[in-house]
Chain A
Amino acid sequence: MAKLTIADLKKIKEKQHATFALREGGNRAKVTVHMGTCGIAAGARNIMSALMEEIEQSKIEDVITTTSGCAGFCAREPMVTVEILNQPPVKYGDLTQDKIREIFKEHVIGGKPIEKYALVVGSETTY
């Protein structure tokens, strides 16, 4: 490591921000990928990978992703739930990698749910 200046300290702190946002809490949005046996069989793993790619490329840091069990609507898997702070959660079903990318841009970043893919709005939050 080269000799640090005070400006470098701040840069390092910024760079680590994503990691610590994860550990310190205070996130703006949370995306839950449902990974029951049914979800995994229907391709939930690919949905997660696409989502992680999007997050990484967009350099967004206040969004966390997590997994949870079967959402009880196995026929419509793969499913995700998008929760934005102070907004009702939205469940999406029948996802593909393209759809999740679109949802990420429109809803998670843009804040506008995509109604045509949405299954339900306003189930209980997990915040």
Chain B
Amino acid sequence: MEKYRANLLLCAGTGCVATGTPRVRETLKAELEKQGLADEIKIVLTGCNGFCAEGPVMLVYPDEIFYQKLTVEEIPKLVEEHFLKGRPYEKLMFKDAEKKTAIPLMNDIPFFKHQILRVLRNKGMIDPDSLEEYIARDGYLATAKALTEMTTEDIIKVIKDSGLRGRGGAGFPTGLKWKFASKSVADQKYMLCNGDEGDPGAFMDRSVMEADPHSVIEGMIIGAKAIGASKGVIYVRAEYPLAVKRLQLAIDKCLEAGLLGENILDSGFDFNLEIYLGAGAFVCGEETALMRSIEGQRGMPRPRPPFPAHKGLWDKPSVLNNVETLAQIAPIIMEGAEWYRTLGTEKSAGTKVFALTGDIKNVGLVEVPMGIPLRRIIYDIGGGINKKNKKFKAVQLGGPSGGCIPEELLDIPVTYEDINKTGAIVGSGGMVVMDEDTCMVSTAKFFLEFTAEESCGKCTPCRVGTRVMLDMLIDICKGQGKKGDIETLLDLSKDIIATSLCGLGQTAPNPILTTIKYFQNEYESHINDHWCKAGICSNLCSFHINEENCKGCGKCLRGCPSNAIVGEKKKPHRVIQEQCVQCRSCYDACPFGAIEIKPTLKKPAEPVTQDEGVTK
């Protein structure tokens, strides 16, 4: 048996591979050999560690020291100092933002300290390509238990009692879904996994599939036993090549080891699993559309009922669960429903993974107990807004189906019910933080562009309705908004929600509704005052230098691409409005906050199409 005194768990998730893991690994290997340490210290490639913004990252065991932003150049020094001489190498450690001191231990870094890992229990802990390492962390023991010691009813009961709700967006109780399908009588049933992950900016499911593919497979075997399915499909978008590769390898190893296929673990239970590659259409994440897609048809939703539990894939009873839902099944089987309920709230039990991005210091993947206040995720774990002197404005939850939550609601607990009350949704877990320089009308426009583009076109309210709303938002941002637009948007939203066929159309108005609800004054100032106060909509703002605050440092002048700023050094500068193209670079460049954003100076009445001809 090989014996090592230290393990280096180097992240090989998509983020870190992009920032340099392959080269770092080569150098690390060479340096360990050079120092004669190759037999003592082992390099293990893991899935995403979660702190992607700091990549490539590496965790050293048994010391539990966390290194970040590894570069090929620093590796020789790191190997000599830490691995040969035992002096942890400060230069590559995470630095405390305020005090600038290095924080050596992973669990002392605030980003990690407040997280509780259930879904991501094996992240950065095991080599995702090793079945043995997964088994070492209690892997497939739950499968053994479910297949040999539990009845279908037992399994469904423990999942129901645990209060686990689907993590794919809607939050439907998983135990109940399994129960419906188990009651359907048919010669063939299907257990399906949704790895489509279509929300822009979301990467929770990708990380689970990459870091711990067996946890998903195990959840599927147990689900299959619960509903009586002998076949399964994991639907993954083709844009996730690493996830596909690791899942396929995991499936192959399971087949070889008899954990998939016939008579699993001598229990008499058969389950065959395959991967289906999706082409990356958002609507194919919707359950009925996903099933059509697997059947080789165009991915379009169909009306429910019949629900998939009765007529799903190939018109056979089917259950579709999200990746994150499935990754939690094995621990619930092992530890029980009560254990699962020790975290979270009565109606929202357990933990949830969020992909934290936007104007925030610590970008990455975080897993927290449900019921934690939003503010704690954003400030304690995320470290707050990433730019100095900028204020928080809103956080967008739930992607294109979700909404924006303002500062005054940050203390609400993150549960399905409380988030729904704000008009946003927990959704699949995308969390985009926005600072004061964000225009909320443009934000709504961004999401509508996405949904209008991704609408499958089957039903009119969604196909035409999203387009009409998008055109109105474009007009408002150009300065062609009209009185009454806000009311029209609200009316249209109501109709689209009421009459769309699937979740895409039913949730598409959410970004508009929440931005009107919390930031109506921004819509009004766009429409009435031709003023985008954040200075994002270039037709609706003008830039001015406040002479009292200007120190004459010249930063704005040097950065201006159209030579629209004049002024002598150390004296207040001035913007020549005729030359200014509202590119906003002076606003971003000024260290003293001397640039002011005022309403546009262009004549508002002129239609923009003609206007463009004049100004160019």
Question: Which chain A residues have a beta carbon within 8 Å of chain B's beta carbons?
Answer: 1-6, 9, 12-13, 15-20, 22-23, 25, 27, 30, 32-36, 40, 45, 48, 52, 55-56, 59, 64-69
> Is the Cβ of A13 less than 8 Å from the Cβ of B85?
no
Choose one: B136, B139, B144; the contact of A6 (CB below 8 Å).
Answer: B144
A24 to B139, CA, bound (A): 15
Complex CA gap A33/B256 in Å reads 42
Which residues does chain A contribute within 8 Å of B93, judged by CB atoms? none
> In the bound complex, how far is the Cα of B133 from the Cα of A1, in angstroms?
14
Contact among B4, B40, B62, B133 with A25 in the assembled complex (CB-CB below 8 Å): B62
- Tell me if A16 and B132 are in contact (CB < 8 A): yes
Instruction: Report chain A residues within 8 Å CB of B148.
Output: 6
A56 to B3, Cβ gap below 8 A? yes
* A68 with B135, Cβ < 8 A, contacts A3-B257, A56-B3 known: no
Minimum distance in angstroms from A104 CB to a CB of chain B: 13
Expressed in whole angstroms, the Cα–Cα distance for A20 and B136 within the complex equals: 7
Known: A4-B259, A4-B265, A9-B135. Is A68-B5 also a contact (CB below 8 A)? Answer: no
Is B183 positioned at the interface, with any CB of A under 8 Å from its CB?
A: no
Q: Is B137 an interface residue (CB 8 A)?
A: yes
Q: Which of these, B5, B131, B144, contacts A64 with CB under 8 Å?
A: B5
Q: Which residues of A contact B135 (CB under 8 A)?
A: 9, 12-13, 16
A-contacting residues, B464-507, CB 8 Å: none
Contact B4 A19 (CB under 8 A): yes
Instruction: State the CA gap A35–B39 with chains docked (Å).
Output: 17
When chains A and B are docked, how far (Å) is the Cα of A12 from the Cα of B36?
A: 29
CA distance A59 to B2 in the complex (A): 11
Inter-chain CA distance A50–B61, complex, in Å, is 21
Contact of B9 (CB < 8 Å), options: A23, A32, A65: A23
Q: Which residue of B lies closest to A30 (CB)?
A: B62
Q: Are A3 and B5 in contact (CB under 8 A)?
A: no
Give every chain A residue within 8 A of B61 (Cβ-Cβ).
22-23
Q: Which of B132-156 contact A (CB under 8 A)?
A: 132-133, 135-141, 144, 148
B7–A4 CB distance below 8 A: no
Given contacts A5-B265, A66-B62, contact A12 B136 (CB under 8 A): yes
Question: Does more than half of chain A's interface fall in helix, strand or loop, or is it mixed?
Answer: mixed
Max chain B CB contacts within 10 Å: which of A19, A55, A56? Answer: A19
A35 to B40, CA, bound (A): 14
Residue of B nearest to A63 (CB): B5
C-alpha spacing A15/B9, complex, angstroms = 19
Chain B residues with CB below 8 A from A64, complex form: 5, 62
Q: Considering the complex, which residues of chain B in the window 53-74 have a beta carbon less than 8 Å from any beta carbon of chain A? A: 61-64
**CB-CB contacts of B250-278 with A at 8 A, as 1s and 0s?**
00010011110000011000000000000
Whether B136 pairs with A19 at a CB distance below 8 angstroms is: yes
Chain B 563-596, CB-CB to A under 8 Å as 1, else 0, gives 0000000000000000000000000000000000
In angstroms, Cα B71 to Cα A123, docked, is: 36
Closest to B64 in A: A25
Contact of A23 with B253 at beta-carbon distance under 8 Å, contacts A9-B135, A16-B133 already known: no
B87 within 8 A of A: yes
With contact pairs A9-B141, A67-B83 given, residues A23 and B3 touching in the complex (Cβ less than 8 Å): no
C-alpha spacing A56/B2, complex, angstroms: 8
**Count of chain A to chain B residue pairs whose CB atoms are closer than 8 Å in the complex:** 99
Query: Does B253 lie within 8 Å of A5, measured CB to CB?
Result: no
A-B contact pairs, 10 of them (CB 8 A): A1-B256, A5-B265, A6-B265, A9-B135, A9-B139, A9-B141, A9-B265, A19-B136, A33-B86, A68-B87
B601 on interface, CB distance cutoff 8 Å:
no
Interface residues of B (CB under 8 A from A): 1, 3-7, 9, 36, 39-40, 61-64, 83-87, 125, 131-133, 135-141, 144, 148, 253, 256-259, 265-266
The 4 closest A-B pairs by CB, nearest first: A67-B86, A16-B136, A3-B258, A68-B86
**Do A35 and B132 form a contact, CB below 8 Å, given A4-B257, A22-B62, A23-B9?**
no
**Bound CA span A17–B138, Å:** 11
Asked if A23 and B1 sit within 8 Å, CB to CB, the answer is: no
Q: How far is the CB of B205 from chain A (nearest CB, A)?
A: 25
Across the interface, A1 reaches (CB within 8 A) one of B64, B125, B140, B253, namely B253
B140 and A35 form a contact (CB under 8 A): no
Which residue of chain B is the closest to A32 with respect to CB atoms?
B86
CB distance from A25 to the nearest CB of B (A): 7
Q: Other CB < 8 Å A-B pairs besides A40-B84, A68-B86, A69-B85, 5 of them?
A: A3-B257, A9-B139, A16-B133, A16-B135, A19-B136
Residue of A nearest to B85 (CB): A35
| B136 contact set on A, CB distance < 8 A | 12-13, 15-17, 19-20
With CB as the reference atom, state the residue of chain A lying closest to B267.
Answer: A6
From A34, A48, A56, give the contact of B1 (CB < 8 A): A56
Considering the chains assembled together, what is the distance between the CA atoms of A89 and B139 in angstroms?
37
Q: Contacts A35-B84, A45-B36, A68-B87 given; indicate if A23 touches B4 (C-beta within 8 A).
A: no
A19–B7 Cα distance when bound, in Å, is 8
A49 to chain B minimum Cβ distance, whole angstroms, is: 8
Residue of B nearest to A3 (CB): B258
Is there contact, CB below 8 Å, between B132 and A12? yes
Pair A66/B256 contact, Cβ less than 8 Å: no
List B contacts of A3 (CB < 8 A).
Answer: 257-258
Q: Min CB distance, B219 to chain A, in Å?
A: 17
Of the candidates B4, B87, B137, B265, the one whose C-beta lies within 8 Å of that of A22 is: B4
B40 close to A48 (CB less than 8 A): yes
Residues of the B chain whose Cβ atoms lie less than 8 Å from the Cβ of A56 = 1, 3
A16–B44 alpha-carbon span in the complex (Å): 14
Report whether B253 and A13 are in contact in the complex, using a CB–CB cutoff of 8 Å: no
Which residue of B3, B84, B253 contacts A67 across the interface (Cβ within 8 Å)?
Answer: B84
- Shortest beta-carbon distance from A29 to chain B in Å: 12
Bound Cα distance from A40 to B86, whole angstroms: 12
**Distance to closest chain A CB from B78 (angstroms):** 13
On whether A27 and B62 interact (CB within 8 A), knowing A13-B138, A52-B3, the answer reads: yes
Chain A residues within 8 Å of B40, by CB:
48, 52
